[in-house]
Structure 1
């Protein structure tokens, strides 16, 4: 479902991703861990086309995201192509990014109506179902400011799922929440993982969540993958000293 082929990303002289190769199968749940600045969030931003690659290619669902073919050459994709492929991808950010002037129901229906072209009634029915899934069926008419941080993040999850993406990206979605609110958001995502075949790519410091939902966990450092293993194996028998040091520091924080 996702394939990075020798992807390079630089910010000035700083090489954030260094000829990165990795793939995620359809329906697979993969978690990226590692220190700040190791390139994890950059991967998600490239998939959302918030950043452009400096080398290599990215494919989503068998279609090239970053480039299009012109005759015999691959050339950087234009905005129209990016928009089309991006419809297959949903993302939940650290900050909730809800529209403050819209009630919860409209926050969830706005993009399906205006981007996917769904009829309003169909979008509303889908939104109600998803808000029930995330435990907010009683908050349809609330404004974001009337919700707790955990509730706002659950609305953001429902909004991402309302676009019916093939891929769901999660970027440190509990980092702005206190532990109790973070737990309720992670419980919702556990339910989504259990009841859905959606492909999930997650950046998190919540190691228990990574262990519970992931098929694979990738340890990143300096733009490269140090380890790529099932969660139990990586957490209990890490190969690299760098991984062991990182896990000790994260577990001490939590």
Structure 2
């Protein structure tokens, strides 16, 4: 049964002094998420350092995508607190305590976070240029000339400078996903969330998108949280890999240890199944 807002607020108020240290850009503090009677995240604790690239792996239903959706404020939590840059994301300060965030707080808080989804979600009636510049101009107040220059630079980064005036229907799935990556980066997020960004692509298009993300990981200091079943990509780009099972971190460590010498039986069985199917 979900807590009422007053119950949740009281519990949060008791922990409101336990703020993240300066070494954390994201912190999940005893976060609970339920869908009906199904507990998807069970008092989850984990943190991410600025500039760290963290990959979340695990079976379907283990809570990985839910974590990204909570950070994008597409879902609300049922317990605990999410912190971003030392400030509460899921809550706001009032009278020395933390209370559930309102929409104004959420809009402000999520400006530092960008997300690339499984589906490309491009505006089909807009050119590639317009898809990339629309957010910075209308949400961030960036001047059109500056937004255009940023779009050109980012489309060059993702290898699509020659498609800047095309429309999404004229692009392949892989090209559309690369535009979606450029669009997310155009908002200058500190944190980039990647949710199975190759799962909707034909196999021959996957490598190009992953190469773009590898390049971004190697050439920027952006913090990345990635959900993927592409284990070679996770090995290449991650500083740390978290294995999720039943809403909790079952095991975590550097990719060379998680993939080369996993300690937990659940991790071993999951990786065996994924690699055999891959």
TM-score when normalising by structure 1: 0.99
Give the whole-Å Cα distance in 2 for the aligned partners of 1:22 and 1:208: 23
Pairwise CA distance, 1:13: 0.5
Unaligned runs of 5+ in 2: 1-24
Secondary structure at 1:87 match in 2: helix
1:132 aligns with 2:164: no
Give the whole-Å Cα distance in 1 for the aligned partners of 2:114 and 2:237: 18
1:173 aligns with 2:191: no
Q: Which region of structure 1 is more displaced relative to structure 2, 85-94 or 233-242?
A: 233-242
One of 247, 259, 263 as aligned partner of 1:239: 263
C-alpha distance after superposition, 1:23-62 (max 9, x if no partner): 0000000000000000000000000000001000001111
Q: Which residue of 2 aligns with 1:75?
A: 99
1:109 aligns with 2:133: yes
1:58 aligns with 2:75: no
One of 146, 158, 172 as aligned partner of 1:122: 146
Give the whole-Å Cα distance in 1 for the aligned partners of 2:96 and 2:233: 45
Structure-to-structure mapping, 1:1-254, within 5 angstroms: 1-254=25-278
Give the whole-Å Cα distance in 2 for the aligned partners of 1:51 and 1:150: 28
Give the whole-Å Cα distance in 2 for the aligned partners of 1:84 and 1:231: 34
**Structure 1 residue runs of 4 or more that deviate by more than 6 Å after TM superposition:** none
Secondary structure at 1:151 match in 2: helix
Give the whole-Å Cα distance in 1 for the aligned partners of 2:83 and 2:96: 18
TM-score when normalising by structure 2: 0.91
* CA-atom RMSD in angstroms: 0.6
Unaligned runs of 5+ in 1: none
Pairwise CA distance, 1:167: 0.1
User: Aligned pair count?
Assistant: 254
